[in-house]
Amino acid sequence: MTRQGTRRTKQQVVAEFRHAEILDAARRVFAARGFEGASVDDIARRARVAKGTVYLYYPSKRALYRAALRRGLESLVQELRRRVYAAHTLRDKIRAFMTTKIDYFEQHGDFFRIYCAEAGRAGCRPADLERDLEAFSREQLALLQDALALPGAGGRPGRPRPAAAFALADMTHGVVTRRLFGRSRAETRRDVAFLLEMAEKGLAAR
């Protein structure tokens, strides 16, 4: 039974549902048409709500765009935390990180297109988007650095390795990109196994 202090009102439930519908529609429209090509009218039609309803929740197209991007980033970070923290060894944590990112972006291709568009605008993004993407980058790098601080396969004490964390994140992003653009048709586990082999060789050499 829901506790009295945490029970949501009908209006809160409806608002939450509307937010989700509108952001899902926004993600699809922005992914298909880009920020400049998309319109609030397009998004309202896709969400099957009135244009005025969209503006009740988001004051502008840019606010809606940022909310759609943030929702995807927060969802991905939450899943990364869950799966990386659940793993116990260095190898398993790195595997969990790689597999989670590959799976997430393949399941959310629309979000990946928005993410790639913003990643390509580094240094030219509005300040609020810059903060969101920087926070996401710091979060995933922190997860990898925590993993790298564990003892390695040979039992050697781990240590913070910022450069290694960056490299692992970049390698994973590269595989995600190749897969989503049709340049790799291997099973996820095979691509991850290849990445792990490269990562282990690189870490052993340092």
Residues 77 and 179 reside in one and the same domain: yes
Residues 121 and 170 reside in one and the same domain: yes
Question: What pLDDT, on the 0 to 100 scale, is given for residue 86?
Answer: 95
The tens digit of pLDDT for each residue in 116-130 reads: 888 877 777 888 888
Residues 106 and 192 reside in one and the same domain: yes
Give the integer Cα–Cα distance in Å for 31 and 37.
10
Residues 49 and 89 reside in one and the same domain: no
Query: Packing angle between helix 109-119 and helix 61-86, nearest 10 degrees?
Result: 110
Question: What pLDDT, on the 0 to 100 scale, is given for residue 155?
Answer: 42
Question: What pLDDT, on the 0 to 100 scale, is given for residue 160?
Answer: 56
Q: Which CATH number is 174's domain given?
A: 1.10.357.10
Residues 158 and 80 reside in one and the same domain: yes
Residues 29 and 124 reside in one and the same domain: no
Number of structural domains (the chain) is 2
Residues 89 and 134 reside in one and the same domain: yes
Q: With contact defined as beta carbons under 8 Å apart, do 147 and 84 qualify?
A: yes
Residues 117 and 33 reside in one and the same domain: no
Give the integer Cα–Cα distance in Å for 179 and 131.
28
Residues 46 and 128 reside in one and the same domain: no
The tens digit of pLDDT for each residue in 38-93 reads: 999 999 999 999 999 999 999 999 999 999 999 999 999 999 999 999 998 888 99
In the block, residue with structure tokens 């529609």: 25
Burial of 73 (0-12, 13-18, 19+ CB in 10 A): buried
Residues 73 and 52 reside in one and the same domain: no
Q: Which CATH number is 50's domain given?
A: 1.10.10.60
The tens digit of pLDDT for each residue in 136-159 reads: 999 999 999 988 887 654 445 555
Residues 8 and 40 reside in one and the same domain: yes
As a dihedral over the C-alpha atoms of residue 109, residue 122, residue 128, residue 99, rounded to 10 degrees, the angle is 40
Average pLDDT over residues 81-107: 92
pLDDT at 191 over 90: no
Question: What pLDDT, on the 0 to 100 scale, is given for residue 13?
Answer: 64
Domain enclosing residue 164, as ranges: 68-204
The tens digit of pLDDT for each residue in 158-171 reads: 555 788 889 899 98
Residues 4 and 39 reside in one and the same domain: yes
User: If you compute the radius of gyration of the chain from its CA atoms, what whole number of angstroms results?
Assistant: 20
